[in-house]
Structure 1
Amino acid sequence: MTIRLCVLLWARPGATEHLAAYEDKVLALLSEHGGRIVRRARTDGLDPAPTEIQLIEFASRAGYDGYLADERRTALAAERDAAVARTDIHPVTFV
């Protein structure tokens, strides 16, 4: 079953470029887990807007779970925490 997600990310103050660099690294792992970035967009980051919006698709729940557990991704937790203030993830249906 295909998993589709809308991911909203807010950067910590002054960390917009760090958020983008972190996301570049972890999104590069998607394909190894049957995932792909459908669209990635940035806002001006002014409150209350998120800094980055992503639409992501995984071929299966197992792929999504594998991505979340990927040790290369989890090893970057400190980098993520320094750059990302908030993340909201919403399951979606593409229309």
Structure 2
Amino acid sequence: MTVQLCVVLWGRPGAAGALAAYEDKVLALLGGHGGRLVQRARADGTDGRPDEIQLIEFASQAGYDGYLADARRTALAAERDAAIARTDLYPVELVK
């Protein structure tokens, strides 16, 4: 069963560049788990708006679980915590 997600990210004040750099690293791991980045958009992060929005798709729940547990991703936890203040994650249905 395909897993489709909308990820909404808010950076810590002054950390938009660090957020983008962190996301560049972890999004590069998607393919190894049957995942793909469908779309990535950046906003300005002002007035409560997020800094980044992503649509991600995995071929299976196992692939998504593997991505979450990937040691290369979890090793970046401190970098993530320094850059990202909030993440909202929603299961979605991508309409093509």
| TM-score range relative to shorter protein | over 0.9
CA distance in 2, matches of 1:92, 1:49: 20
Secondary structure of the corresponding residue to residue 73 of structure 2: helix
C-alpha RMSD of matched pairs (Å):
0.4
CA distance in 2, matches of 1:55, 1:4: 7
Runs (4+) of structure 1 exceeding 3 A deviation are none
Secondary structure of the corresponding residue to residue 18 of structure 1: helix
Q: Deviations over 1:37-86 (max 9, x none)?
A: 00000001112111000000000000000000000000000000000000
If the length of structure 1 is used for normalisation, what is the TM-score? 0.99
**Identical residues among aligned pairs (%):** 76
If the length of structure 2 is used for normalisation, what is the TM-score? 0.98
1:56 aligns with: 56
Q: When the two structures are aligned, how many residues end up with a matched partner?
A: 95
**1:94, CA displacement in angstroms?**
1.1
Secondary structure of the corresponding residue to residue 48 of structure 2: coil
1:1-95 correspondence runs (5 A): 1-95=1-95
